[in-house]
Chain A
Amino acid sequence: MLEIRNLSVSIQDKLILDNLSLGVNAGEVAAIMGPNGSGKSTLAYVIAGKPGYEVTSGEILLDGDNLLELEPNERALRGVFLAFQYPTEIPGVGAMTFLKAALNAQRRARGESDLTTPDFMRRVREAAQALKIEQEMLRRPLNVGFSGGEKKRFEVLQMALLGPRVGVLDETDSGLDIDALRIVADGVNALRDPARAFVVITHYQRLLDHIRPDVVHVMSRGRIVASGGPELALELERNGYRDYAEEAA
């Protein structure tokens, strides 16, 4: 479903992704692990279309369409969702207001009518309950003064409401205590669906105890250097990334 072919990306002439290829099937959870600076977050941003990255070669196909030719919002409307590692604060914009604007923008793009307010409120309440998000938090401005855990839960809440085709989770486990990690992981697990794929980027095995991946890819120096089943993540936990870093050199 998501097919990345020979992708090379630079930032200011520095090569970050080096001829990277990766396929993720519908219904699959693919974990991407790797040391700091291996290009994991860059991969997430380039899939979503963040400005500032120069794609020098390759393509990213979602259901056969090249995402690289689309604007970031067009990619979102086709079902690309990025759960940010550091969600951005937008002062004065209520979290609810933002949710409604995003949801309705996506509905309109599909030719559906805007949700009525009661309908919208009901959906948010249900999704928020599952993630143990207080209504009070949703009345605050977007991500402003949210704790690390609240930000991550709110990312997953947005993902639940928007129902993407591909969810890219960029170190969603960072800054979470063990209870929050479980809540967030349960939230993601509830969204697993035969028609939906996940790319889960993480440093640690810990998250993968809760979100069981179908495939694990190891990234080093801008490439996928190893792929395997969940057992690969366990091996990394024991031996570290050292072997792979050398292999890529």
Chain B
Amino acid sequence: MQNWYPGDAQGRGGIYNFVTKRGDCRGARSKISWTQVETGSAITWKYPSCILRGEASRGEFYSIAISNGHQQVDSGTKMIHLGRNTTSRIISKGVAAGKSQNTYRGQVSAHRLATGARNFTNCDSLLIGQECGAHTVPYIEAKNSSAVIEHEASTSKVSEEQMFYCLQRGLSAEEATALIVNGFVRDVLQQLPMEFAVEAQKLISISLEGSVG
């Protein structure tokens, strides 16, 4: 979970956050699971990766990336399938508000000897307001004909109808946004330990403050 200073209202002075984390699954049936909640820094480049070397090893990547104001997020993962019957799963939820740009960038590669490699990727983006952007950039590379790589992506907007429905029940615009966004990222929140999930929910609400006017 990272929440660095994103800069002032114009995005000036914010932290640039560049992270490369790599995990190496060496043993048979070994497993690495990354879970990230990104809310801070002016520019984020972050790609926690898994090298799936051991036979039937497994890599997972669960991500929530929230951007607001002038933030730019470019984050995702690399799943490098080297061993036989290796599997990976990527679930990414990007939420863009304000004037921010939110990009998922991920690589899935199945190498020559990775017979039976299997990947499933699901990237969902949610836009709040008119001035933000969401982008999905998957790099897929299969050098083994038995590899199966799946990529699903969706982009949606918080609709006026959803907002009005919440407001009509007495929620403020900010409460409504937090509720809708928390619903959107629920699949990933469920992967977090209880204590973190509670904190993450609060962090999401704080990050989105001022995103609706």
A residues contacting B by CB (< 8 A) are 48-52, 71-73, 76-77, 80-82, 84, 87-88, 90-94, 97-98, 101-102, 105-106, 109, 141-142, 158, 162
In B155-190, which residues have CB < 8 Å from any A CB?
159-162, 164-173, 175, 179-180, 182-187
Given contacts A50-B164, A90-B183, A105-B170, could you give 5 more A-B pairs where the C-beta distance is less than 8 Å? A90-B165, A90-B179, A98-B179, A142-B183, A158-B169
Closest CB in chain B relative to A55 CB, distance in Å: 16
Closest CB in chain B relative to A139 CB, distance in Å: 13
Given contacts A87-B165, A90-B165, contact A73 B184 (CB under 8 A): no
Interface centre among B161, B164, B173, B187 (most CB of A within 10 A): B164
Flag if B180 contacts A48 (CB, 8 Å).
Answer: no
Given contacts A51-B160, A73-B173, A88-B161, contact A93 B168 (CB under 8 A): no
Closest CB in chain B relative to A82 CB, distance in Å: 5
Proximity string of chain B (172-213) to chain A, C-beta cutoff 8 Å, 1 when within and 0 when not: 110100011011111100000000000000000000000000
What separation, in Å, do the CA atoms of A32 and B166 have in the docked complex? 25
5 pairs from A and B in contact (CB 8 Å cutoff):
A48-B168, A52-B160, A76-B170, A90-B179, A102-B171
Partner of B171 from A84, A91, A94, A105 at Cβ < 8 Å = A105
Closest CB in chain B relative to A59 CB, distance in Å: 20
Residues of B with C-beta under 8 A to A162 = 169-170
Flag if B183 contacts A72 (CB, 8 Å).
Answer: no
